[in-house]
Structure 1
């Protein structure tokens, strides 16, 4: 039986409309910044804490906009599905102010319409979030 891992993830955009993706140390897949909620923490609270820890972005939970909750295959955990609550952060962010921290090995800003050019994106991103975002923008 597969394990279920609950996570929060946040979509961050730069002024050019590119989506921030991150690759965690020891992994090969790019995904949203985010992670597991701590005990007693809401999904939005987990999202803003993870943004702060992983890329140094400081916002408040009430600023996040929910875009969906999806269950899919975990990118970095065998025999595990993730249930991801995905938010969008308000506004746009200067890439020069976003830096990898904690377990983040690499940042990559990606135009949504270029996602098919990458073969290293997490399943949640390719199967659920990107199709949802593309539909919103059409």
Structure 2
């Protein structure tokens, strides 16, 4: 007796048909993490004439939307190339993590390029703002 091709699909496990991966042996759960948002964190600005970044070795313009991550979260380059959505005073922007901020000891703290800081604060003379960010 020959079964129609469509019937064979029902004989296969769902993972084979749908391309669903199974967890590794001994691990029967998948953990879906909630995107963490860092709120009321200190954000300062830095000039890009300090030389190449620590992630790519490239130099950036003050107008680039890039950031330097605080030392505790930088994690030996773990943030390199990651996109962050930053919000302050009703404005949001996406920036790329390209460097470590050695003068940013607080967890969550970011150092923004001049252009990115001016986008949010309007004036570099403000010096420090407190906003929020999360990974995109």
Asked if these proteins are the same fold (TM beyond 0.5), I'd say: no
TM-score (norm 2): 0.26
Q: Select the structure of larger CA radius of gyration.
A: 2
How high is the TM-score relative to the length of structure 1?
A: 0.26
Hey, which of these two has a bigger chunk of helix by percent? Answer: 1
